[in-house]
Amino acid sequence: MINMDELINQLSATILDDLIDDASLGVIFGVHRSNKLGYLAIEDGFKDNNGEHSEGHPIVIAPNMDVFGQVAIKNKQHECICPSCNRTLAASRFAPHLEKCMGMGRNSSRIASRRIANSSKEGNGNGNIASGTGVSDDDDDADWTFGGSEKKRKRKDKHSTKKKNSRVKNGGAAASTAVSDSAYNSLEGNISSGEQAAPVVNGAPTFESFGAAEKKTLLLQICGVVSEHTGKLCTRTLRCPQHSEEQRRNIRLALLGQNYEHNQVIGTYIKQNEEVKFFSITFKSQNFE
Amino acid sequence: MKEEDVLTAKMIESGELNRWKELLRLRLTECGWRDQVRLLCRDAIKQGNLEEMTVDQLNNEVTPKARQLVPDAVKIELLTKIKTFLQENTLQESQ
């Protein structure tokens, strides 16, 4: 057993020596290669013109200083004085403040017009306007955000819902009754004529305002099936995969009456009368002879 | 004895030796031995002829010094590992 232990010790010593030789050989290879390739001397660094080793840029290790020896205070910012209101401001806040203060940018003119609108709405009992400008400058500073102010977002929403309501198949439900009535009345009077001036609701021409011929041409181009969710006509191609031919035929029946010419691709309805009469969507379709 | 050597060599080649190698390299780099040996080599190159230093020459000069430079802690750690491995395997053989 003692022999075994000695043997083991000797063996492990030899193994260790081999391992160390391996490691040192690795280092030697690396150094030799870098010498051969010529970049061994670079590790020492370059001499300055003074002839000394990098005396011009010593590495600085000291409190409150970075490696180059510069004093490192990040919070130092140039302070500017606004020429009009004479306040000291940080440099990063200076530009937006100047825009509000001098009233020359896009934002500041919007704010001014909004203020005017507000003051005119509530009457002129708001008190001094002069004091208002001083206070609101600071409030407006907060508007300088990436997404824009919230008031403008609300406005956008109002517009979009109005536009949606005025879209094609609103019936009597969504749009205000005054609008649809006016559209119907104007059309009622002109029912026999073909085209007419289209009344506009909220800036968008409504479907009812189209003349019979326009409607026909429109329905020849688009699928036209009314979607249940939104009440609008499907504006996809006549071969739209979402709706069946049956649906398209039904819509054309409802909108144009039985006597109309369908697209050759779709159906087999044969036009009986040349005239196509217009029907208001709010009422059931009637047959014309 | 020779049979034992052969057997242990085989066992080592199963992968244990590689693991020891890696461990040794790691330890030597950590303790700075590697940089010391590098310095040795560079000094040797500067002393001798700069361009004609072959690997063999470097080897012969540097290796004994490098061996001395290895810190004892690293040596002991690895020795114990090797010993335990050998003991386990020789015990198995005898059984």
Which residue among B8, B55, B70 sits closest to A28, beta carbon to beta carbon?
B55
Whether pTM > 0.90 for this model: the answer is: no
Chain B residues near residue A12 by CB distance under 8 angstroms: 79, 82-83, 86
Q: Is B60 in the A-facing interface, judged by CB distances under 8 Å? A: no
Q: What b/e readout covers A89-99, taking b as 16+ CB neighbours within 10 angstroms?
A: beeeebebbbb
Cα(A31)–Cα(B61) distance, integer angstroms: 14
**Domains of chain B: total:** 2
The answer to whether residues B47 and B65 belong to one domain is yes
Alpha-carbon distance values, A105 to A95, A97, A98, A209 (Å) = 10, 11, 9, 42
Does ipTM come in above 0.90? no
For residue B14, tell me if it sits in a domain. yes
Length of chain A: 289
Q: What is the pLDDT of residue A265?
A: 43
pLDDT for A15: 87
CA separation for the pair A217, A194 (Å, rounded): 12
Q: Are A17 and B67 contacting, i.e. CB atoms less than 8 angstroms apart?
A: yes
**Is A267 in a helix, a strand, or coil?**
coil
Q: Does A7 touch chain B (CB under 8 A)?
A: yes
* B10 touches A at CB < 8 Å: no
Task: Let me know if residue B40 belongs to a domain.
Answer: yes
Q: Is there a single domain that holds both residue B53 and residue B82?
A: no
B82 and B62 in a common domain: no
In a domain, B93, yes or no: no
Q: Which residue has the higher pLDDT, A158 or B36?
A: B36
Together in a domain, B61 and B47: yes
User: Is B7 in the A-facing interface, judged by CB distances under 8 Å?
Assistant: no
Nearest to A217 by CA among A170, A276, A169, A257: A276
Average per-residue pLDDT for chain B: 81
Q: What is residue A41's DSSP assignment?
A: G
Give the pLDDT of residue A276.
45
On whether both B57 and B81 belong to a single domain, the answer is no
Of A15, A21, A31, the CB nearest to B38: A31
Q: List alpha helices for A106-211, DSSP H.
A: 106-121, 129-141, 150-165, 177-189
> Does residue B53 form part of some domain?
yes
**Residue B9 belongs to some domain of the structure:** yes
DSSP designation for A126: T
pLDDT value at position A111? 86
Q: What is the pLDDT of residue B25?
A: 92
Mean pLDDT for each consecutive 10-residue tract of chain A (289 residues)? 79 89 89 84 67 59 70 73 86 86 83 89 58 47 51 51 49 43 44 43 53 77 82 84 86 71 44 45 45
Domain enclosing residue B45, as ranges: 33-70
Q: What is the DSSP letter of A242?
A: T
> For position B42, which CATH number holds?
1.10.246.140
pLDDT at B40: 85
- Residue B94 lies inside a defined structural domain of this protein: no
Q: Among residues B31, B26, B20, B21, which one has the least CA distance to residue B72?
A: B31
Task: Give A 20-59 residues with CB within 8 A of chain B.
Answer: 20-32, 35, 40, 43
Tell whether the model's pLDDT for residue B26 goes beyond 90. yes
Rounded to whole angstroms, how far apart are CA atoms A256 and A281? 10
**B27 and B39 part of one domain:** no
* Same domain flag for B65 and B43: yes
pLDDT at A97: 87
* Residue A5, Cβ density class (10 Å: 0-12 exposed, 13-18 middle, ≥19 buried): exposed
